[in-house]
Amino acid sequence: MERIRFGRTDLKVSRIAMGGIPIMRLSKPEAVRLVQRVLDLGVNFIDTATGYTDSEEKIGEAIRGVPRETLVLASKSPADDRTTFLQHLDRSLKRLGVDYIDIYQLHNVSTRKRYDAVFAPDGAFEGLMEAVKAGKVRYPGFSSHSVPLAIELMKTGKFSSVQLPFNCIDTEAEDVAVPLAKELGIGFIAMKPMGGGMLDNASLAIRYLLRYEHIVPDPGIERIEEMKEIVQLVNHPTPLTESEWKKIESLRKEVGSEWCHRCDYCQPCPEGIQISSVLSVKSFLKRMPLERAYQFLNETMRKVPSCTECRTCVSRCPYDLSIPELLKKNLRIWDEALKALNPGVNT
DSSP 8-state symbol, 293: H
With beta carbons less than 8 A apart as the criterion, state whether 74 and 51 touch. Answer: no
Q: Which of 52, 115, 139, 208 is catalytic?
A: 52
Q: Is 208 a catalytic residue?
A: no
Burial of 49 (0-12, 13-18, 19+ CB in 10 A): buried
Q: What is the DSSP string of 28-79?
A: HHHHHHHHHHHHHTT--EEE--TTSTTHHHHHHHHTTTS-GGG-EEEEEE--
Positive or negative, the Cα torsion across 27, 28, 31, 36?
negative
What is the rounded CA–CA span in Å between residue 211 and residue 232? Answer: 16
What is the rounded CA–CA span in Å between residue 97 and residue 132? Answer: 18
With beta carbons less than 8 A apart as the criterion, state whether 8 and 160 touch. Answer: yes
List residues with catalytic annotation.
Answer: 52
